[in-house]
Amino acid sequence: MKVTDKVAIVTGGASGIGKGLCSRLLENGAKFVAILDFDPEKGQNTATEFSSKYGTERVKFYHCDVTDESKMKSTFREVYDVYGALDIFANNAGIISNDHRKTIEVNLVIYSIQLHNSEEQILKVRKLHFGGGSCEAPGGEAFLCFRNSGRPVCRSEDLNAPRDNKSFVTKFVRLYFYVDISIYMINVAVINALIIAEKLMTQKKRTEKGVIINTASMAVFKATELTNCSYNASKHGVVGLTRCFKVCRDGFSKDIRCNAVCPALVMTGLYTSGDYMTKELGERIEANRYREISVDMVVDAFMRAIDDEDLNGALLKITTSGVEVDTS
Ligand SMILES: NC(=O)c1ccc[n+]([C@@H]2O[C@H](COP(=O)([O-])OP(=O)(O)OC[C@H]3O[C@@H](n4cnc5c(N)ncnc54)[C@H](O)[C@@H]3O)[C@@H](O)[C@H]2O)c1
């Protein structure tokens, strides 16, 4: 797809990679670029900078937290109604935080899931995914850790307790619920932004396929000492979502292509803007600077994912060696 005269939405567009992408889209003749971000100051500054360079009618900042589903929906709708189309969606906003749940919500879930459901709802979800049967839940404790700041609420010995023990059953239902949550996120919530975009992008018959680009990470392919487990898990989810988009049974339109960029280390606000940075991490980052790539390299990969009509379900892995396209 050629960018000229196209309408684009970029989440996390106020800074870093997203800002770089907005700039390139405008430079390449996009009709309109919507910068969606939850940082009002950075967002407005970026929009003002681009407005003076490319014209006020071609770019606008929308204050929007991607974890707020209804706000996100209304913002997408507003862009579509005013500009009459949505051709490119960059699903890019992301954070890394010591708050594991928040990291997963922003990077993957896109909207908050009510964790304190009634027992009845919990059972319903459990039944849906596990048929209400088997009690084996590999990996369950790992997900429980997310809730209790590293302390599992159900210990391993509980798993061997008699199954008619009521408190055990209750704990186990909760355990299942958390395992379910991880599945639920991937099946339902993660793709919320993508679903909203896909619906609008195909509302009118398309003459050219629309493009969705998700931002994943090289951390998926090579574990790194710079990230934490929830960040890594969330980006695995993004990769899974991208790979399955064109073949899954959700009935997504064949008029949309979906790819992901997977950058190695980029020096942006990702590490410094939240609660994650420590002196020790700063030293590790410094020691890893030989792996650093530029925002421009990532934006080049975005543009390739947009431009190349053959790319669908592809992962564009960006390292100091260049871009490797993985279509496996
Ligand atoms: N920097 C890296 O080393 C690196 C490597 C691989 C992948 N990534 C990914 O690239 C993407 C962009 O990150 P970046 O490196 O440009 O960092 P960044 O912090 O510069 O940009 C992220 C932007 O997302 C916005 N944002 C965060 N939470 C949001 C929310 N809830 N709603 C709306 N906007 C929100 C922030 O305000 C910020 O403007 C992220 O998904 C990140 O995980 C970054």
Which pLDDT tens digit goes with each residue over 296-315? 999 999 999 999 999 999 99
Top pLDDT among 140 and 201 is at 201
Q: Name every protein residue with a CB atom under 6 angstroms from any ligand 1 atom.
A: 11-12, 14-18, 37-39, 42, 65-67, 92-95, 106, 215, 217, 263, 265-266, 268-270, 273
* 37 CA distance to ligand 1 middle (Å): 10
Nearest-atom index, ligand 1, CA of 219: 6
Say how many Å lie between the first and final Cα of the chain, rounded.
22
Residue 129 above 50 pLDDT?
A: no
Q: In this structure, which residue's CA is closest to atom 8 in ligand 1?
A: 217
pLDDT higher than threshold 80 for residue 145: no
Decide if pLDDT at 288 tops 90: yes
45 has pLDDT over 80: yes
Q: Looking at ligand 1, which atom is closest to the CA of residue 265?
A: 3
Cα 263 to ligand 1 centroid, rounded to whole Å: 12
**By alpha-carbon position, which residue is closest to atom 34 of ligand 1?**
37
Distance CA 210, CA 142 (A): 38
pLDDT computed for residue 165 by the predictor: 44
What's the pTM value of the predicted model, to 2 decimals?
A: 0.80
Cα atoms in the 13 Å half-sphere on the side-chain side of 114: 7
Q: What does the mean pLDDT of the chain come to?
A: 79
Residue 133 has pLDDT above 70, yes or no: no
Ligand 1 closest atom vs CA 216: 7
pLDDT, residue 102, reads: 66
Q: In this model, does residue 113 exceed pLDDT 80?
A: no
Confidence of residue 120 (pLDDT cuts 50, 70, 90): low
Q: Is the pLDDT of residue 155 over 80?
A: no
Please say if the pLDDT value at position 149 is more than 80: no
Which atom belonging to ligand 1 lies closest to the Cα atom of 218? Answer: 6
- Averaged pLDDT, 233-257: 89
Q: CA–CA distance from 216 to each of 104, 265, 315 (Å)? A: 13, 12, 9
Going by pLDDT thresholds of 50, 70 and 90, the confidence category of residue 35 is very high
